[in-house]
Amino acid sequence: MQPCEERKIQLPGFTIGLKIWNPQNTQRVLCLHGKLDNAASFDLLAPFLPHLQLVAVDFPGTGLSSPYPKGVLPHWKNDAFLMLHLIKELNWNRFDIIAHSLGSLSASIIAIACPDQVNKLVYLDILGPRIDFIEKGTTYLLTDIDNFINHTKFPRTIFQDLESAIQKRMKSGNISYQASQALALRGTTKSKEGYVWTFDRRLRSVASTLPYEDELRTLFNEIVAPVCLIRAKQGVPYPEKIFQERAQSLKNLMIHELPGGHHIHMDDPKPVGKTIAEFLKLKDNF
């Protein structure tokens, strides 16, 4: 695995963990992971983007970052606003964003808030929420409330060894061994009883916070930066009409379709890295 620099940074109310690859490079990229993942989401992609300074963030409650305060519901908009503090703290004038899954919503907010700073956006297998999250919003609301209120009611699953935790993550997320291993190494801790995942279980209460179709398209309409969607053929499914209407909401969208599932950037990172490099107009170095 490519060496990286570990850093913790203090932001208002939070300690945020960062993984930084190629810190000497001047082309900076903010890397935002998806739901219940962590900054290791970009471990396997980093070797294929050697010309970029990649700064991968642990969102609050994941990886090495502190959680939201007790009684507070984590929210992707709050994550986005917190990233604005991070960008200021890092003193970045210009940068790109690579975002997977839920991280793409925070990326969209950042691009709208910083139109003169964000050069380009890359969405990894996501163009807004799955349509069922919107159609079944009330059902998901009740589930999210239950998850939030009762998140400490039941003990965490204890795995006998790290391998068991890796295998469970593979099955629950339909991801490769290498992807699950990277996430588990950063996202678990060992106790006397065994290994447990450390993510804040309140992060499961996300579906009811997702934007409805009109808000999503309004957000897309406000993005001026060019966007590259790397769509996995076996990734997030959308009704074709919905997908095309969302795509048309973005002023400057390029779509690349590659074989693979939702964690395509981890399961098969080389073609993803090549596509990103070409989009960002880097020299092909593969």
For the annotated catalytic residues, the residue numbers are 101
Determine the Cα–Cα distance for residues 100 and 126; give it in Å rounded to an integer: 7
| Cα dihedral across residues 16, 49, 28, 243: positive or negative | negative
Lookup: tokens for 178: 């290498």
* β-strand partners of 97: 30, 121
Tokens of 151: 């998140």
Residue 166 near residue 183, CB atoms below 8 Å: no
**Residues contacting residue 103 through CB under 8 Å, at least 6 positions apart:** 32, 33, 34, 59
From CA 98, how far away is CA 124, in angstroms rounded? 7
